[in-house]
Amino acid sequence: MKEYKLLVLDVDGTLLNSAHEITPRTRDTLIKIQQMGVRIVLASGRSPHGLNAIVRQLDMHRHGGYVIAFNGSLIYDAQTEEVLFERCVSPELLPFLERKAHQYGFPIFTYSNEAIITDTPNQPRIMAEAELNGLPVRHEELFSIQVDFAPWKLVLVNEDEASMAELYERWKRRLSGTAEVHRSEKFFLEILPPAIDKSMALGALLQKLDVKAEDVAAIGDGVRDIGLLQMAGVGIAMGNAAESVRACADSITDTNDRDGVAKAVEQAIDAYRQPENLPLEEINRMMASSMIGHLGITFTYAAEGRVEATMPVDLHTRQPFGILHGGASLALAETVAGLGSMLCIAPDEHAVGMQISGNHVSSAHEGDTVRAVATLVHKGRHSHLWSVDISTSTGKLVSTVRVLNSILRK
């Protein structure tokens, strides 16, 4: 199965359910794959302000994810907030767009860093968009004059689908080469910088990161996501996606109300990234930010039925009297046995510690490094029993520990 470096996710209708929430299962799954080295890219029509809460929920600011905002006009690093790519609509277009919007009776709005700016502040769709992005609405009657910056995108609003379709076809031809025109919703007509969409922005990001498209997995539900699905090494359509989107995907997952993202990730990514497929240096890197890394535990050998690791006797693992703490020994034993069980289970299973008992027969002093060797004693359908011997650098036995792990279905 293919290993992927980036996971690109549409937000509304994909990552979020109908209540605009990330379910616990989806959140846990996405945090887990980030801890295993896969970086997440959010690709959305929302503003950065409307995506920041999602970035925080998924811990992307800690794991080095990326955000494609405004359907491709802006890319930034979720960890450093550095802007990596930016394109704007020409300010010279604003008077024309405002005049035509008034001619057709369509409200118009755009985004600044602090607000949604519009000539029709009480329009329900604009109010809903402001709430979705967590931005206030700023009323500017002289819209094109007061928008004194180059916007990332502009949006016209109308509930009449036939009128919106007519204007879309007309402007698509009229503005060709000057701006991109898209219907993001039945009632929204978006004006973006020329040659900008999600897939183009992803291509720019991949070039900057030196990542190949074949190393990317993408999940989406809308027509605006088709380019992403076709560009990625694997493109996955949501179960709630339109038929035209489903036809362009490599596979189809469940709906956004039934943890479709989590299920797709577990099958396409998490199933591959089992410990037996990971080199030791990557396993150690994955553990660096956990208690395992804090104790200085380093895996030195891992195969089915046997795992070895070392741990320094230092200020993190010693007693006040300068000898190895028994609790640190048990933590080391449970760690090597835990990885050992992970090597033996199926992709749809996980191992949890059930019981541990140890005999401390000798001591190890500060400055030494102890070595743990875990050996599988019994492998059952629902449990694994491990024997773990912990010795000093000279081979003196310090502790002998029995660890019982329970094997559960995900």
Q: Which residues does the annotation mark as catalytic?
A: 334
User: For residues 192 and 70, is the Cβ–Cβ distance under 8 A?
Assistant: yes
Cα–Cα distance measured from residue 72 to residue 232, given in angstroms and rounded to the nearest whole number: 16
Radius of gyration of the chain (CA): 27
First to last CA, the chain: 19
Cα–Cα distance measured from residue 128 to residue 312, given in angstroms and rounded to the nearest whole number: 56
Provide the residue count of the chain: 410
CA-to-CA dists, residue 78 to 26, 128, 158, 175, 402, angstroms: 19, 25, 33, 33, 43
List, in order, residues 6 or more apart from 346 with CB less than 8 Å away: none
User: What is the DSSP annotation of 326-352?
Assistant: HHHHHHHHHHHHHHHHHHHS-TTEEEE
DSSP SS3 for 1: coil
